[in-house]
């Protein structure tokens, strides 16, 4: 008798590869660093995105935490739709210039 077992453990990145990945650009409207939720205004609409702990958030060449994003910051967000769960960020780029002072 031969038994075959399969493991269905997916990392966030491999799961994202299987789902439809999208990229949006907009302005930060609300930042909830405790709840890991980011609300972004895109034209006349808003979307809410879950921000997992270990994703890359960058401002220029610097990695920053979620709570360094400010309301009004211009953001580029790569995300996937984890329906029936939330939209989930894969990477975030804060397009605001880093001060060189």
pLDDT in tens, 27-36: 999 999 999 9
Q: Which domain holds residue 70?
A: 12-94
Check: pTM over 0.85? Answer yes or no: no
Q: Tell me whether residue 66 is in a domain.
A: yes
Give the pairing type, strands 87-94 and 56-59: parallel
Looking at the structure of the chain, the number of domains it has is: 1
4 within some domain: no
Question: Which residue in the block uniquely carries the two structure tokens 């994003």?
Answer: 69
Domain-embedded: residue 50: yes
Does 63 reside within a domain?
yes
Answer yes or no: is 71 within a domain: yes
For 63-98, write each residue's pLDDT tens digit.
999 999 999 999 999 999 988 889 999 999 999 865
Residue 75 located in a structural domain: yes
Residue 65 counted as domain residue? yes
Residues 6+ apart with CB under 8 A from 25: 42, 74, 75, 76, 77, 95
CATH number, residue 82: 2.40.50.140
1 assigned to some structural domain: no
């Amino acid at each position: 008798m031969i038994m075959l077992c399969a493991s269905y453990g997916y990392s966030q990145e491999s799961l994202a590869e299987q789902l439809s990945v999208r990229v949006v650009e907009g302005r930060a409207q609300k930042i909830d660093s405790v709840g890991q939720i980011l609300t972004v205004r895109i034209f006349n609409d808003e979307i809410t995105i879950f921000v997992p702990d270990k994703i890359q958030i960058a401002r220029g060449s610097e990695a920053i935490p979620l709570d360094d994003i400010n309301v009004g910051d211009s953001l580029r967000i790569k995300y996937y739709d984890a329906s029936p769960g939330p939209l989930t960020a894969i990477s975030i780029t804060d397009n605001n210039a880093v001060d060189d002072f």
